[in-house]
Amino acid sequence: MAQWGTVKEACGVFGVYAPGTAVAPLVFDGLFALQHRGQESAGMAVSDGDTITVVKEMGLVTSVFDARSLSSLQGHLALGHVRYSTTGPSTWHNAQPVYRAHGRAGFALGHNGNLTNVAALEDEAGMLPGVSGSDSDLIAELLAREFSPEGSEGDGNDLERALLSVLPRLEGAFSLGLMDERRLVAVRDPNGFRPLCLGRLDPEEEGGEGGWVVASESPALDIVGARFVRELAPGEMVVIDADGLRSSWPFAAERVDPRLCVFEFVYFARPDSLLYGRQVHAARHRMGERLAEESPVEADLVIGVPDSGVPAAEGFAARSGIRFGQGLVKNRYIGRTFIAPTQEARIEAVRRKLNPLRESIEGLRLIVVDDSVVRGTTTRQLIKMLREAGAAEVHLRISSPPFRWPCFYGIDTPVRDDLLAARMDVEEITRHLGADSVAYLSLDGLIGAIGVPGAGFCTACLTGDYPTAVPAPAGALVGTLTP
């Protein structure tokens, strides 16, 4: 969900349908496993088959929920959401799930991704620009308009009918979880920009009948003891209720074009996630191997920038034959600091987060592997710290191509002017970051390392090739942007 124009964010969605089981604690565990996808707010909606209760609050999953609030959330059907922290207004109102009620009936919605046709949708709906507050609110509003009791056919399928009418009008990135009092629904946009997977809970000996789980990433299934069944297909809608699970395809066939965000593989997803059937950690390791083949350099030690640079650093070391070691200690209690609001705050944040292991690196020629450089703020500060700690040389190796274009599909990125590689070539970047050399993995190397023949990816942040038309908020872009 996003407050367009100013912020963009990825989020995490987790839903459970399990008759006979109190599912709120499962949602807590699932959201906790997805905490990396959003640290600004957390929430869940729970239904006992009759009434939906929603609890949502600013903060981390562990601060929003405790044993008391979980025990007050009774029911076998639930939907949870974590929202990414941003530079924009971070208000309770933006926390999810979004809930809308109509008489006694209601629905809840959790969104991961960004819509790209907000202005057109608002216009069509006769709404003032920006009035809906966020794109997730807008989806809820459009659904609510179709979900009126007057339009009800009394068969309890109002949410499904509303979705079939609204979904084809949405453009951009939307992995959605929804529920009404009786059913759980999951939808993946026709490009499948953001991940979403399906798991099965087996029946329990002590009475639970088993059930279904949907989650942004597969580790959230593992943690609640659900079996990974499959990823939802791009353009698929799944409805789960007392009749079981059924799939439908609400989008025109020609819109279905799988384009999973390649940055999920590079940085965003957990290493233990399965995407396109591949474990992310293994793919990151292969990225490092490829990087060593493409851009070798003589050095004494390979280190990774914790956490996301480490698997690629191991791969680099394995392929180059240069020793892998720890060179940086990360404070375990720190969240993702990338979105600190000012440049000074971001520099300060790096020091708080990472500290060099002086004895391990002193006098050595280092290869420092990280997954990406976005603004360059963290990396520049890091290289300075490594030199101050005695590194003889610092060769930066990045396990993805230069990040040159803003994302409109749900990853938080700065405006184009702030993207280092949009303004500088590699030589200038090397000088700016204070490195002895800098090299990036090629796009072919990245896709080859992921290793899923024929799989479609969104590479817009690296290539400017946007799979859909994108909005151009004032000041966000330099030059023209074509879909």
Query: For the stretch 343-368, what's the b/e string if a residue is b when 16 or more beta carbons lie within 10 angstroms of its beta carbon?
Result: eeebeebbeebbebeeebbeebbbbb
Q: Does 348 bind ligand AMP (CB under 6 A)?
A: no
Q: Does 349 bind ligand AMP (CB under 6 A)?
A: no
Stretch that binds ligand AMP, among 48-56, 95-103, 236-244, 368-376 (CB under 6 A): 368-376
How many residues bind ligand AMP (CB under 6 A)? The answer is 17
Q: Which is nearer to ligand AMP, 305 or 476 (CB)?
A: 305
Q: Which is nearer to ligand AMP, 80 or 306 (CB)?
A: 306
Among 33, 198, 374, 422, binds ligand AMP (CB under 6 A): 374
Bridge partners (DSSP) listed for residue 240: 184, 245
Q: Per-residue x/- marks for ligand AMP, 270-309, CB under 6 A?
A: -----------------------------------x--x-
Q: Which is nearer to ligand AMP, 211 or 410 (CB)?
A: 410
Q: Does 371 bind ligand AMP (CB under 6 A)?
A: yes
Q: Which is nearer to ligand AMP, 303 or 374 (CB)?
A: 374
Amino acid, single-letter form, for residue 73: L
Among 169, 281, 330, 375, binds ligand AMP (CB under 6 A): 375
Q: Which of 11, 261, 407, 458 is catalytic?
A: 11
Nearest-CB residue to ligand AMP? 338
Q: Does 35 bind ligand AMP (CB under 6 A)?
A: no
Residues 108-167 within binding reach of ligand AMP (CB under 6 A): none
Q: Which is nearer to ligand AMP, 65 or 267 (CB)?
A: 267
In the complex, the smallest distance separating the C-beta of residue 179 from ligand AMP, rounded to whole angstroms, is 29
How many Cα atoms sit within 13 Å of 99 on the Cβ side?
23
Residue 333's CB is within 10 A of a number of other CB atoms, namely: 7
Annotation marks residue 458 as catalytic: no
Among 267, 276, 408, 466, binds ligand AMP (CB under 6 A): 267
In the complex, the smallest distance separating the C-beta of residue 277 from ligand AMP, rounded to whole angstroms, is 24
Amino acid, single-letter form, for residue 21: T
- Burial zone of 434 (CB within 10 Å; 0-12 exposed, 13-18 middle, 19+ buried): middle
| Alpha-carbon torsion (101, 107, 113, 116), positive or negative | negative
Record the tokens describing residue 20, joined without a space. Answer: 């006979």
Stretch that binds ligand AMP, among 24-32, 195-203, 360-368, 376-384 (CB under 6 A): 376-384
Closest CA relative to residue 13, chosen from 160, 202, 139: 139
d(CA 96, CA 217): 18
Residue 377 · residue 350 · CB < 8 Å? yes
Among 134, 372, 399, 459, binds ligand AMP (CB under 6 A): 372
Residue with tokens 């997730």: 136
d(CA 294, CA 397): 10
d(CA 390, CA 223): 42
d(CA 151, CA 147): 7
Residue 451's CB is within 10 A of a number of other CB atoms, namely: 12
Residues 399-418 within binding reach of ligand AMP (CB under 6 A): 411-412
Q: Which residues bind ligand AMP (CB under 6 A)?
A: 267, 305, 308, 336, 338, 370-379, 411-412
Residues with a catalytic annotation lie at: 11
